[in-house]
Amino acid sequence: SLTPEDLAELDSDWSSSSDQFKHDSFESVVDAHDYTFVNFYADWCPHCRMFGPLWDQFEQELNSEKDPVVDADGVRANVRALKINCVDFEETCQQQKVQAFPTVRLYRRGSAGKNWADFRGQRSGEALLAFAKEEVKKRHIHTGAHYHDVFAESCRISGLVEVARVPGTLHFQAVHNAERTLNLAYTNVSHTVHSFVFGSNNAGPLHVNIANLWSATWSGFKQNLNPLAGKTFSVSRFHQAPHHYLKVVHTKMGQNRMYQQTHQWSARNVARRAVPQAKFSYDLSPVEVVISYSRRRWYDYVTSVFAIIGGAFTFMSMTSSLLNLASSQFKGSFREDVSRSSLLHAETKVTPEASAGGDVMEWAPE
């Protein structure tokens, strides 16, 4: 979009090379308006000095838009009047092939130095305004464009491109044709992608076969084969364009080959005088993904069952052995404790000296 400083630059007169403006691109001035009425003059020219006050008044009235200028559709056109001092801007006047002073021309957007209408009528404000209205009314133009808000669908592109297995970029941009000259710097390359895939163009039937065989696996890959399908990528400002980035991985699934994609995009600013391009940058990975599929035989199932049974038997045998070992260790320890206890009791005597009869009693184990 244009800043207020840019608009002031494009709408200003080229009266002096030492004013506050740069005045470095006459083509940008013409491209900023639907039509630009230009008075090429020289300070030393007496005819220019006589015509100067009349032009200044006409310029003020036209730029105020009090009396609108409309095209063939009755839509108001953006017509701007300005003047260029060919003494200070001699190179620009030479490029525009100005041979006499004053020279008054009506430039159409996108035609700087290529297509204009010379004013040859009476030098009066009424004649100048009538000339502008007559020329603008001959054409159908898009006017009042604000951030591409009046642009509609332009063209459709389909085809095949053979590319090498190396990173690359596809560029899409508008061009002139025999019937129409475009202001390319202001074109809008917003687009809707219906299909953008890598690989064979007859991949449709192969996809169906894969879906029948491996529906679960296929559902995970299908969304990555054409991730841009049905998506719209738009920009609303002038001098912007979408740029896509695709990482492509070759995938082999049975007898079929396909290319999976990961996608990112962004709206990139372009130079003011450059032509916007929709770019698709791709990078093919050197790694290949191979997916194989095989059915299990009945004896594989039997083998698996026996393996499970054998494993369970081995586990139970080991567990039983451990339990037996622990039990034997426990029994041996218990018998040793009992023997020691018996020996201790055998060597013990009880002498109840404080008994009533005063007799000594001895005890021995049976």
pLDDT tens-place string over residues 243-291: 999 999 988 877 778 888 999 999 888 887 788 899 999 999 888 888 7
Domain range list for the chain: 4-136, 168-291
Q: What is the DSSP string of 88-101?
A: TTHHHHHHTT--SS
pLDDT of residue 50: 94
How many angstroms separate the CA atoms of 29 and 43, rounded?
22
For 180, half-sphere exposure in the C-beta direction (CA atoms, 13 angstrom radius) is 9
Structure-token pair, residue 246: 């695709």
Q: What is the DSSP string of 23-70?
A: ---HHHHHHTSSEEEEEEE-TT-HHHHHHHHHHHHHHHHHHHTSS--B
> Which candidate, 39, 10, 40, 37, places its Cα nearest to that of 25?
10
pLDDT-derived band at 363 (thresholds 50, 70, 90) equals very low
pLDDT tens-place string over residues 146-205: 455 555 566 788 888 888 888 999 999 888 776 666 677 778 888 889 899 988 665 554
4-13, 292-301, 336-345, 356-365: which has the highest mean pLDDT? 4-13
Compute the C-alpha angle 185/190/191, nearest 5°: 140
- What is the number of other CB atoms lying within 10 angstroms of the CB of residue 277? 18
Alpha carbon of residue 226 to chain centroid? 15
Q: Given the structure tokens 């020219």, which residue do they identify?
A: 45
**Max Cα separation, the chain?**
169
Specify whether the CB–CB gap between 190 and 234 falls below 8 A.
yes
Structure-token pair, residue 35: 């039509």
pLDDT of residue 54: 95
Higher pLDDT, 101 or 305: 101
Which SS3 state, helix, strand or coil, does residue 275 take? Answer: coil
How many angstroms separate the CA atoms of 185 and 183, rounded?
6
Mean pLDDT, rounded, for 38-48 = 94
How many angstroms separate the CA atoms of 243 and 192, rounded?
13
Asked if residue 57 has pLDDT above 90, the reply is yes
List CB contacts of 171: < 8 A, sequence separation 6 or more. Answer: 277, 278, 279
Specify whether the CB–CB gap between 173 and 154 falls below 8 A.
no
Q: Given the structure tokens 């299909």, which residue do they identify?
A: 195
Conformational region of residue 171, where left means phi above 0, alpha means psi within -120 to 50, and beta covers everything else: beta
- What is the number of other CB atoms lying within 10 angstroms of the CB of residue 39? 24
pLDDT of residue 115: 73
Which SS3 state, helix, strand or coil, does residue 198 take? Answer: coil
pLDDT tens-place string over residues 131-147: 999 998 887 665 444 45
Architecture of domain 4-136: 3-Layer(aba) Sandwich (3.40)
pTM of the model: 0.43
pLDDT, averaged across the chain: 80
Compute the C-alpha angle 95/101/107, nearest 5°: 50
pLDDT of residue 116: 87
Residues of the chain above pLDDT 90, percent: 25
Structure-token pair, residue 140: 């159908």
pLDDT-derived band at 21 (thresholds 50, 70, 90) equals confident
